[in-house]
Amino acid sequence: MQMLSLASFSLSSKITETLDSLVSVFQTMRINDLIDIVVLSFIIYYFWNLIRETRAGQLAKGILFLLAAYILASILGMKAIPYLLETLAQSSLLAILIVFQPEVRRAMEQLGHSKFGLKNLGLISSSEAVEEQWREAIDAVCSSCMDMSATRTGALIVFERQTRLGEQLSNGTILNATPSKELFEQIFYKNTPLHDGAVILRDGMILAAACYLPTPQRNAIIDKKYGARHRAAIGMSENSDAIIVVVSEETGHISVAENGDLQEGFTWKQLQAYLIGQMIDQTKKRPFLDRLPWRKSKQTTPPQDAPAPADGEEVRHEEKADH
Map out the domains of the chain as residue ranges.
2-117, 128-322
From 14-18, 134-138, 153-157, 245-249, the region with the lowest mean pLDDT? 14-18
How much is the pTM? 0.57
Per-residue model confidence (pLDDT) at position 58: 64
H helices of 170-312, in order, are 181-187, 228-239, 268-279
Beta-carbon-side half-sphere exposure of residue 172 (alpha carbons within 13 Å): 27
Q: For residues 140 and 9, what is the distance between their CA atoms, to the nearest angstrom?
A: 69
CATH for the 128-322 domain, from 3.40.50.2300, 1.20.120.1760, 3.90.740.10, 3.40.1700.10: 3.40.1700.10
pLDDT tens, position by position, 128-148: 788 889 999 999 999 999 999
Q: What is the mean pLDDT of the chain?
A: 75
Per-residue model confidence (pLDDT) at position 239: 83
Of 203, 313, 95, nearest to 321 by C-alpha is 313
- Cβ atoms within 10 Å of 168's Cβ, excluding its own: 24
Look at residue 158 and tell me whether its pLDDT is greater than 80. Answer: yes
pLDDT tens, position by position, 3-51: 556 556 566 776 777 777 777 777 777 888 788 888 888 877 777 766 5
Q: For residues 267 and 279, what is the distance between their CA atoms, to the nearest angstrom?
A: 18
Per-residue model confidence (pLDDT) at position 177: 93
Taking a C-beta distance cutoff of 8 angstroms, is the pair 117, 190 a contact?
no
Per-residue model confidence (pLDDT) at position 318: 37
Per-residue pLDDT band at 209 (split at 50, 70, 90)? very high
Per-residue pLDDT band at 223 (split at 50, 70, 90)? confident
